[in-house]
Structure 1
Amino acid sequence: MHNLETSGHNPRWAELVDLLEGRLDGLAQAFTTRVREIPEYGESQVTVQEIRETAMETFRRLIRGLRHGQADDGRDGLLAFASDLGSKRARAGIPPESLTSAVRLDFSILWAELLEIATLEDAALLTSRVDQVWRVVDEFATRTHTSYLTERTRMAQEESSIQREFIARLFNQSTPSLETSVQVGSALGINPESRFALVAASGEPGARLRAGVSHFGSGQQARHRLFLHESGGNTYVFWPLPAVRTRGRQGAEQQLPAAISDVPCGYVPEVLGLRALPAAARTAESLAALLRPRDPGPLSADAAWARLARQNLQDAGLDLAAEVEEALTECKGGERERLLETVRNFLATGNVTLTAEQLFCHRNTILNRLNRFQELTGIDLAVPAKAARLVVAWA
């Protein structure tokens, strides 16, 4: 037999829904009070009046859904309203977890109000209708959340496009103007006078840099905000540095974002202001060209100054290593290898005693070899300028 108590046309259910609709003001007020307790809503640009008006429209449409047994997907229905609400809250900057907390209030408030207006005789009816109430509210919540995420994605893409335009404007000038740096800083949400770090790479390492930036995605909440620029086959990534300076190579390594800390690339660990980034990009590009297969990650000028100097000298037609090799042609037997081993160890330590210990030789033996090397090449390793010449030659 058809049971009118559980039918979609149950008179008592229709009566309860009518009573619920008569309490719209109370429902909206209860929602407004509770949603303002969510910190992000209380501190947002969404006004109390807007929250209350939105709550009134939400409950009006939810109650209509309860009356018909399903959410209305028409142009002016519940789900269309949910889509608009999700977009609005995304544009207002409400965090996703806060939006979820707010939307979840709808069911608890509706159900609490139903329990208040119902009688003991309505217990079986309410039990049979709880799934319907939950389904209507859940459809509303799902559509709101989906619209919110869609709008957030669109906003992120739009923001990313605008940022790329401003970054390109910065890098396309060899010496950007103060006005340009201020505009770029405003677009990126950073202080144009801040200190930055920058890396550059091409080919497969460049692809790894791009992947690292993409992985960081929500960089604004991360320790580093990574900004990307691509030009002429090169990929550049830069980020603001913390206010507290860190000194030395270890400090520079600590400033590297984890996403790119193992990517072979040219690295400029400190750039003073946005206006200096284009020049730093050229430096990083030059350092990237000096990378060797054994380099485990970013290469800075501090670590590669000798390589850079040697490359510049070779570009000028000077080959210091060839001069040293020619001078050592007089060596007989294994003398050449012994001298080179001794000199390399001495250059690494700067200490005769330590060099002797490492090579298991007497101190006087090391001194004799250094003297012999000077005799053959004319390079006195006790003179810093002469030693530096050899360091560059063997870089």
Structure 2
Amino acid sequence: MTREGPRDPGQSAGLSPAAVALAARCEPKVNELARRMAREVFEQLRGYSGLPADVKDVEIAATARHAMRLFLRGADGGVAPDALEHFQERAAQRAEEGMPLHLLLRTYGLGVRELWRVLRDTAAPEERDALAELAEALFTAEDRVVGAVTESYLDEQAALVAERQEQRRSRARALLEGAMDPGGPVVHGPTLVLYARFMEPEPSGERSPVAVRRLLRRAQTALDRAFGAETLALLDAGGGHVVVPGCGEAPPRLLDALREAVGPEVRVAWAASQSAQDIPAAGRQVAEVVRVARACGRPPGLHRLDDVLLEYHLSRPSDASDRIAALLAPLGARPELLQTLRIHLGQRQDRRATARVLSLHPNSVDNRLTRIQELTGLDLGAPRDTALALAALSVRAADAAGGGVADGGATGGGPARPGATV
């Protein structure tokens, strides 16, 4: 660590004796210059005047004083890494206090300018070469310090953001599980509980971690803006739950905002709970509504319980669930037939609409439907068999979705548990 105490100017091998002598003559002016910068020079920066007096008059002035002495006592551009620790610690502190990065960096820029003016005004005409040496050394040192400060600030800011996000996730998880809220006041009154399922992964494989982070950041930003507050989101790459205490209904453009943020394939359902005790049940219901709507071939968008009442009812676990799911077992090796059945039922058995969704000729849809009926024995023209097909699709989807909790999503397979992926 570079010491604040006296140092032999001759130790600065990179500077000429004339440059070292000029720097030494400027050092007695450091205290007054640091005070003037903290009280007057930095006041021209937007946002600086609102800082607490102790930050301006003590910490910022002390940092400016340390930086100038560090340079004038021999720093010739080769700033040692440990000499930067002081500035890195202050940068992390400023990030924690919420000072904007541009404001922090401007203080360093103005400080360099003011020190240059002192060097220039102190230099005699015959010290022009020495002044040029110090100018080059000063700008080199500034580059090193600003780089270290920026890196430290951004690291601290990223850590703070991650901490706030985890706090929000913990609160959402606790409320959805019916546990005591660990990060805020007890929830009273209505709370909106939302479940969103994002677009399916690309055929080439899972999204990259960078793509997932960007997706979640866009989703969180869209939610916060739509509700006008920080929402408690428990999201992963596939979607998840959002809890908004004190809110009884969703904003009118919420679905549009989510589509713009994560893509047109998003599926959303929400419900209002009237007390904290109702939040877990609401979370299970909205996740199940989305799962059922997807399993039955309904197009992406907003799903309401009333829209899938029959399918929701038919998909409830019972002693007959395994036998109902087995009705579609003959289609297990023909995923294109299962997809056609799902889309066809979702399109209200309109063969032309089904053909459009699947990009097929209507005759091809007819051929597939005929094959489905041959393999399963179900008559899709009969109301009872159509209901059985819907129930079988829903039960199969529930079975496929069950089997574990993935942080951030919702469960499938029977009553949904908050926190698993469907």
Q: TM-score range by the shorter chain?
A: 0.5 to 0.7
Q: Mean alpha-carbon deviation: is it higher for 305-314 or for 222-231?
A: 222-231
Equivalence for 1:38 = 45
Change over 3 Å in CA distance of 1:9–1:238 after alignment to 2:
closer
The 2-side partners of 1:103 and 1:131 are apart by: 16
Tell me the TM-score normalised to structure 1 length.
0.61
Change over 3 Å in CA distance of 1:133–1:280 after alignment to 2:
same
Calculate the aligned-residue CA RMSD, in Å. Answer: 4.4
Change over 3 Å in CA distance of 1:112–1:228 after alignment to 2:
same
Change over 3 Å in CA distance of 1:171–1:129 after alignment to 2:
same
Question: Which structure has the larger Rg over C-alpha atoms?
Answer: 1
Alignment of 1:258-337 (within 5 A): 258-260=260-262, 262-268=264-270, 276-292=278-294, 295-301=298-304, 305-312=306-313, 315=316
Change over 3 Å in CA distance of 1:130–1:41 after alignment to 2:
same
Alignment of 1:161-240 (within 5 A): 161-173=166-178, 180-181=180-181, 183-185=182-184, 196=192, 198-201=194-197, 204=200, 214-216=216-218, 219=221, 223-224=225-226, 225=230, 227-229=232-234, 235-238=239-242, 240=244
Does structure 2 retain, via aligned residues, the 8 Å contact 1:264–1:291?
no
Deviation at 1:255, TM superposition (A): 5.9
The 1-side partners of 2:223 and 2:136 are apart by: 39
Q: Mean alpha-carbon deviation: is it higher for 257-266 or for 140-149?
A: 257-266
Where 2:197 maps in the other structure, the secondary structure is strand
Where 1:228 maps in the other structure, the secondary structure is strand
Equivalence for 2:151 = 146
Deviation at 1:136, TM superposition (A): 0.9
Q: Give structure 2 stretches of 5+ with no counterpart.
A: 1-12, 320-348, 351-389, 392-422
Equivalence for 2:72 = 63
Change over 3 Å in CA distance of 1:38–1:273 after alignment to 2:
farther
Does structure 2 retain, via aligned residues, the 8 Å contact 1:246–1:252?
yes
- The counterpart of 1:127, out of the listed 115, 118, 132, is 132
Change over 3 Å in CA distance of 1:126–1:218 after alignment to 2:
farther
Tell me the TM-score normalised to structure 2 length.
0.57
Change over 3 Å in CA distance of 1:61–1:89 after alignment to 2:
same
- The counterpart of 1:47, out of the listed 48, 55, 59, is 55
Alignment of 1:2-41 (within 5 A): 8-33=14-39, 34-41=41-48
Where 2:233 maps in the other structure, the secondary structure is strand
Does structure 1 retain, via aligned residues, the 8 Å contact 2:191–2:248?
no
The 2-side partners of 1:89 and 1:22 are apart by: 28
Q: Mean alpha-carbon deviation: is it higher for 156-165 or for 269-278?
A: 269-278
Cα deviations by residue, 1:50-102 (Å, 9 ceiling, x for unpaired): 222222222222323xx241344264x2x122222222212222122222222
Q: Mean alpha-carbon deviation: is it higher for 38-47 or for 117-126?
A: 38-47
The 2-side partners of 1:275 and 1:184 are apart by: 17
**Letter aligned with residue 237 of structure 1:** H
% same residue:
18
The 1-side partners of 2:301 and 2:122 are apart by: 69
Cα deviations by residue, 1:102-145 (Å, 9 ceiling, x for unpaired): 22222111111111212333334323442211001211111111
Does structure 1 retain, via aligned residues, the 8 Å contact 2:197–2:290?
yes
Change over 3 Å in CA distance of 1:256–1:221 after alignment to 2:
closer
Q: Mean alpha-carbon deviation: is it higher for 28-37 or for 263-272?
A: 263-272
Change over 3 Å in CA distance of 1:197–1:281 after alignment to 2:
closer
User: Which structure: greater helix fraction?
Assistant: 1
Where 2:158 maps in the other structure, the secondary structure is helix
Does structure 2 retain, via aligned residues, the 8 Å contact 1:86–1:144?
yes
Deviation at 1:156, TM superposition (A): 2.6
- How many residue pairs match? The answer is 300
Change over 3 Å in CA distance of 1:169–1:123 after alignment to 2:
same
